[in-house]
Protein backbone atom coordinates (compact mmCIF):
# COMPACT_ATOMS: atom_id res chain seq x y z
CA UNK A 1 0.00 0.00 0.00
CA UNK A 2 1.56 3.35 -1.04
CA UNK A 3 1.79 6.50 1.07
CA UNK A 4 -1.21 8.18 -0.58
CA UNK A 5 -3.43 5.18 0.15
CA UNK A 6 -2.19 5.01 3.72
CA UNK A 7 -2.87 8.69 4.27
CA UNK A 8 -6.31 8.35 2.70
CA UNK A 9 -7.17 5.62 5.21
CA UNK A 10 -5.66 7.75 7.96
CA UNK A 11 -7.86 10.74 7.13
CA UNK A 12 -11.02 8.64 7.17
CA UNK A 13 -10.16 7.46 10.67
CA UNK A 14 -9.16 10.95 11.85
CA UNK A 15 -12.23 12.96 10.86
CA UNK A 16 -13.69 12.60 14.34
CA UNK A 17 -10.40 13.64 15.95
CA UNK A 18 -10.10 16.71 13.71
CA UNK A 19 -13.62 17.75 14.65
CA UNK A 20 -12.71 17.32 18.31
CA UNK A 21 -9.71 19.58 17.84
CA UNK A 22 -11.94 22.21 16.26
CA UNK A 23 -14.09 22.02 19.38
CA UNK A 24 -10.99 22.57 21.53
CA UNK A 25 -10.18 25.70 19.53
CA UNK A 26 -13.71 27.05 19.82
CA UNK A 27 -13.86 26.42 23.55
CA UNK A 28 -10.46 28.00 24.21
CA UNK A 29 -10.71 31.49 25.63
CA UNK A 30 -7.68 32.71 23.68
CA UNK A 31 -8.29 30.56 20.59
CA UNK A 32 -5.13 28.49 21.09
CA UNK A 33 -4.72 24.88 19.96
CA UNK A 34 -2.54 23.25 22.66
CA UNK A 35 0.78 21.69 21.78
CA UNK A 36 -0.35 18.33 23.16
CA UNK A 37 -3.17 18.24 20.59
CA UNK A 38 -0.82 19.10 17.73
CA UNK A 39 1.80 16.58 18.84
CA UNK A 40 -0.82 13.83 19.00
CA UNK A 41 -2.24 14.78 15.60
CA UNK A 42 1.10 15.02 13.78
CA UNK A 43 2.53 11.94 15.47
CA UNK A 44 -0.54 9.99 14.40
CA UNK A 45 0.29 11.00 10.82
CA UNK A 46 3.89 10.00 11.46
CA UNK A 47 5.16 11.30 8.13
CA UNK A 48 8.10 13.72 8.21
CA UNK A 49 7.35 15.09 4.74
CA UNK A 50 3.74 15.92 5.60
CA UNK A 51 4.63 17.55 8.91
CA UNK A 52 7.28 19.80 7.38
CA UNK A 53 4.98 20.72 4.51
CA UNK A 54 2.34 21.76 7.04
CA UNK A 55 5.00 23.94 8.66
CA UNK A 56 5.99 25.39 5.28
CA UNK A 57 2.39 26.34 4.53
CA UNK A 58 2.22 28.02 7.95
CA UNK A 59 5.25 30.12 7.03
CA UNK A 60 3.80 31.11 3.67
CA UNK A 61 0.50 32.09 5.26
CA UNK A 62 2.12 34.59 7.63
CA UNK A 63 5.01 35.64 5.40
CA UNK A 64 3.21 38.81 4.16
CA UNK A 65 3.37 40.07 7.75
CA UNK A 66 7.14 40.30 7.42
CA UNK A 67 7.46 43.99 6.62
CA UNK A 68 11.14 44.90 6.55
CA UNK A 69 12.03 45.98 3.02
CA UNK A 70 15.76 45.31 3.24
CA UNK A 71 15.51 41.90 4.85
CA UNK A 72 12.40 40.88 2.92
CA UNK A 73 14.27 39.54 -0.10
CA UNK A 74 16.69 37.42 1.91
CA UNK A 75 14.02 35.82 4.06
CA UNK A 76 11.79 35.21 1.05
CA UNK A 77 14.70 33.50 -0.71
CA UNK A 78 15.20 31.24 2.30
CA UNK A 79 11.51 30.35 2.48
CA UNK A 80 11.43 29.63 -1.25
CA UNK A 81 14.49 27.41 -0.90
CA UNK A 82 12.79 25.47 1.90
CA UNK A 83 9.65 25.14 -0.22
CA UNK A 84 11.68 23.86 -3.18
CA UNK A 85 13.45 21.37 -0.92
CA UNK A 86 10.17 19.98 0.40
CA UNK A 87 8.07 19.91 -2.77
CA UNK A 88 10.70 19.38 -5.46
CA UNK A 89 13.63 17.79 -3.65
CA UNK A 90 15.99 20.61 -4.59
CA UNK A 91 18.83 21.76 -2.35
CA UNK A 92 20.14 20.37 0.92
CA UNK A 93 18.95 20.76 4.48
CA UNK A 94 22.44 21.73 5.65
CA UNK A 95 22.41 24.73 3.33
CA UNK A 96 19.03 25.82 4.71
CA UNK A 97 20.34 25.66 8.27
CA UNK A 98 23.47 27.60 7.34
CA UNK A 99 21.40 30.41 5.83
CA UNK A 100 18.92 30.31 8.73
CA UNK A 101 21.79 30.75 11.18
CA UNK A 102 23.08 33.67 9.13
CA UNK A 103 19.70 35.45 9.31
CA UNK A 104 18.78 34.44 12.86
CA UNK A 105 20.26 37.38 14.78
CA UNK A 106 18.63 39.91 12.51
CA UNK A 107 15.23 38.20 12.71
CA UNK A 108 15.51 38.14 16.49
CA UNK A 109 15.93 41.89 16.57
CA UNK A 110 12.65 42.75 14.83
CA UNK A 111 9.33 43.82 16.36
CA UNK A 112 6.85 41.24 17.63
CA UNK A 113 4.74 40.36 14.60
CA UNK A 114 7.64 40.61 12.15
CA UNK A 115 9.87 38.61 14.45
CA UNK A 116 7.38 35.76 14.82
CA UNK A 117 6.91 35.49 11.04
CA UNK A 118 10.67 35.47 10.59
CA UNK A 119 11.19 32.95 13.38
CA UNK A 120 8.67 30.65 11.71
CA UNK A 121 10.90 30.48 8.62
CA UNK A 122 14.05 29.93 10.72
CA UNK A 123 12.28 27.18 12.68
CA UNK A 124 11.09 25.53 9.45
CA UNK A 125 14.67 25.17 8.22
CA UNK A 126 15.72 23.54 11.48
CA UNK A 127 12.73 21.20 11.32
CA UNK A 128 13.62 20.11 7.79
CA UNK A 129 17.18 19.33 8.87
CA UNK A 130 16.01 17.51 12.02
CA UNK A 131 13.30 15.49 10.22
CA UNK A 132 10.57 17.17 12.31
CA UNK A 133 11.94 15.57 15.47
CA UNK A 134 10.69 18.47 17.59
CA UNK A 135 7.18 17.17 16.89
CA UNK A 136 7.59 13.53 16.01
CA UNK A 137 10.33 12.62 18.49
CA UNK A 138 9.84 15.24 21.19
CA UNK A 139 12.03 14.29 24.17
CA UNK A 140 10.52 13.57 27.58
CA UNK A 141 7.27 15.26 26.62
CA UNK A 142 4.58 15.14 29.30
CA UNK A 143 1.81 17.17 27.70
CA UNK A 144 3.14 20.67 28.39
CA UNK A 145 1.88 23.54 26.27
CA UNK A 146 4.09 25.84 24.19
CA UNK A 147 4.35 28.40 26.98
CA UNK A 148 6.26 25.94 29.16
CA UNK A 149 9.24 26.00 26.79
CA UNK A 150 11.88 28.59 25.86
CA UNK A 151 11.26 30.37 22.58
CA UNK A 152 14.34 28.76 20.98
CA UNK A 153 12.51 25.42 20.86
CA UNK A 154 9.05 26.62 19.85
CA UNK A 155 7.71 24.95 16.73
CA UNK A 156 7.04 26.59 13.38
CA UNK A 157 3.27 26.36 13.72
CA UNK A 158 3.27 28.18 17.07
CA UNK A 159 5.51 30.97 15.74
CA UNK A 160 3.16 31.36 12.79
CA UNK A 161 0.08 31.47 15.02
CA UNK A 162 1.60 34.31 17.04
CA UNK A 163 2.46 36.22 13.89
CA UNK A 164 -1.08 35.81 12.55
CA UNK A 165 -2.81 36.69 15.84
CA UNK A 166 -0.40 39.47 16.74
CA UNK A 167 1.05 38.09 19.94
CA UNK A 168 1.69 35.34 22.46
CA UNK A 169 -1.44 33.79 24.04
CA UNK A 170 0.48 32.94 27.22
CA UNK A 171 1.04 36.60 28.05
CA UNK A 172 -2.42 37.75 26.94
CA UNK A 173 -1.24 39.20 23.64
CA UNK A 174 -2.92 39.16 20.27
CA UNK A 175 -6.42 38.65 18.94
CA UNK A 176 -8.22 35.47 20.04
CA UNK A 177 -10.46 35.53 16.97
CA UNK A 178 -7.48 35.71 14.61
CA UNK A 179 -5.72 32.94 16.52
CA UNK A 180 -8.84 30.76 16.30
CA UNK A 181 -8.98 31.47 12.57
CA UNK A 182 -5.35 30.41 12.16
CA UNK A 183 -5.69 27.09 13.97
CA UNK A 184 -8.84 26.16 12.06
CA UNK A 185 -6.96 26.92 8.84
CA UNK A 186 -4.12 24.78 10.21
CA UNK A 187 -6.42 21.77 10.60
CA UNK A 188 -7.76 22.35 7.08
CA UNK A 189 -4.16 22.34 5.84
CA UNK A 190 -3.35 19.08 7.61
CA UNK A 191 -6.39 17.42 6.05
CA UNK A 192 -5.60 18.75 2.58
CA UNK A 193 -1.94 17.71 2.64
CA UNK A 194 -2.85 14.25 3.87
CA UNK A 195 -5.02 13.83 0.78
CA UNK A 196 -2.60 15.39 -1.68
CA UNK A 197 0.87 16.34 -0.54
CA UNK A 198 2.76 16.87 -3.80
CA UNK A 199 1.41 20.35 -4.68
CA UNK A 200 2.05 23.51 -2.60
CA UNK A 201 -1.13 25.05 -1.21
CA UNK A 202 0.21 28.61 -1.11
CA UNK A 203 2.44 29.97 -3.82
CA UNK A 204 5.40 32.21 -3.09
CA UNK A 205 7.55 33.73 -5.80
CA UNK A 206 11.30 33.58 -5.43
CA UNK A 207 13.12 36.93 -5.54
CA UNK A 208 15.10 37.77 -8.64
CA UNK A 209 18.84 37.24 -8.46
CA UNK A 210 19.47 40.98 -8.80
CA UNK A 211 17.20 41.69 -5.80
CA UNK A 212 19.14 39.26 -3.64
CA UNK A 213 22.50 40.69 -4.68
CA UNK A 214 21.37 44.19 -3.74
CA UNK A 215 20.36 43.20 -0.22
CA UNK A 216 22.66 42.63 2.72
CA UNK A 217 22.01 41.83 6.35
CA UNK A 218 22.32 44.99 8.48
CA UNK A 219 24.95 44.52 11.16
CA UNK A 220 23.56 44.62 14.69
CA UNK A 221 25.82 45.70 17.53
CA UNK A 222 25.49 43.58 20.65
CA UNK A 223 24.02 45.59 23.54
CA UNK A 224 27.11 45.22 25.69
CA UNK A 225 29.26 46.65 22.89
CA UNK A 226 27.46 49.99 22.56
CA UNK A 227 29.50 53.08 23.56
CA UNK A 228 27.25 53.89 26.54
CA UNK A 229 27.53 50.41 28.06
CA UNK A 230 31.25 50.13 27.34
CA UNK A 231 31.74 53.46 29.10
CA UNK A 232 29.85 52.21 32.15
CA UNK A 233 31.89 49.01 32.23
CA UNK A 234 35.10 51.02 32.07
CA UNK A 235 33.90 53.14 35.01
CA UNK A 236 33.34 49.97 37.03
CA UNK A 237 36.83 48.72 36.17
CA UNK A 238 38.45 52.05 37.07
CA UNK A 239 36.56 52.22 40.37
CA UNK A 240 37.49 48.62 41.20
CA UNK A 241 41.15 49.29 40.50
CA UNK A 242 41.11 52.39 42.69
CA UNK A 243 39.48 50.57 45.62
CA UNK A 244 41.75 47.55 45.25
CA UNK A 245 44.94 49.62 45.19
CA UNK A 246 43.99 51.16 48.55
CA UNK A 247 43.77 47.83 50.36
CA UNK A 248 45.93 45.32 48.47
CA UNK A 249 49.35 45.11 46.90
CA UNK A 250 48.93 41.73 45.17
CA UNK A 251 49.02 41.47 41.41
CA UNK A 252 46.03 40.03 39.52
CA UNK A 253 45.02 39.72 35.89
CA UNK A 254 41.23 39.95 35.76
CA UNK A 255 38.17 41.54 37.34
CA UNK A 256 34.84 39.74 37.69
CA UNK A 257 31.95 42.23 37.74
CA UNK A 258 28.43 41.44 38.95
CA UNK A 259 25.91 44.22 38.30
CA UNK A 260 22.18 44.91 38.09
CA UNK A 261 20.54 47.26 35.58
CA UNK A 262 18.58 49.99 37.39
CA UNK A 263 16.78 53.12 36.29
CA UNK A 264 19.56 55.24 37.79
CA UNK A 265 22.36 53.21 36.23
CA UNK A 266 24.32 50.02 36.90
CA UNK A 267 24.55 48.86 40.51
CA UNK A 268 27.75 47.03 41.39
CA UNK A 269 27.46 45.97 45.03
CA UNK A 270 26.73 49.22 46.90
CA UNK A 271 27.83 51.64 44.19
CA UNK A 272 25.61 53.03 41.45
CA UNK A 273 27.30 54.38 38.33
In the predicted model, is pLDDT for residue 33 greater than 60? yes
Sign of the dihedral defined by the CA atoms of residues 7, 13, 16, 20, in that order: negative
Work out the average pLDDT over 117-123.
Answer: 95
Q: What are 44-89's pLDDT values in tens digits? A: 999 999 999 999 999 999 998 876 545 578 889 999 999 999 999 9
Work out the average pLDDT over 204-211.
Answer: 74
More confident residue, 60 or 261: 60
CA–CA distances in Å: residue 39 to residues 82, 114, 120, 137, 155: 22, 26, 17, 9, 10
Q: What are 171-195's pLDDT values in tens digits? A: 999 999 999 999 999 999 999 999 9
Q: What are 123-140's pLDDT values in tens digits? A: 999 999 999 999 999 888
CA–CA distances in Å: residue 122 to residues 131, 160, 180, 227: 14, 11, 24, 31
Report the alpha-carbon distance of residue 1 to residue 23 in Å, rounded.
Answer: 33
Cβ-contact 75, 121 below 8 angstroms: yes
More confident residue, 271 or 210: 210
pLDDT band at 248 (very low <50, low <70, confident <90, very high): low
What burial class does residue 23 get, using C-beta atoms within 10 Å of its C-beta: 0-12 exposed, 13-18 middle, 19+ buried? exposed
Which pLDDT belongs to residue 11? 55
pLDDT band at 214 (very low <50, low <70, confident <90, very high): low
> Average pLDDT over the chain, rounded to whole?
82
Work out the average pLDDT over 25-49.
Answer: 95
Amino acid sequence: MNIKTLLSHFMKSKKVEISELRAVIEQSGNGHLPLSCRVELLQSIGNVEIVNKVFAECCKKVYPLWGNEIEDTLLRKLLCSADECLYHGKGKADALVEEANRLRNYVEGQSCTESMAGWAVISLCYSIADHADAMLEIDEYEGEDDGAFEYEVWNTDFFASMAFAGGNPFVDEGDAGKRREFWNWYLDTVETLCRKSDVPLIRIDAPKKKEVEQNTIPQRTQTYQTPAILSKIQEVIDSALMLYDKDYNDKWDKIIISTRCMAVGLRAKNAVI
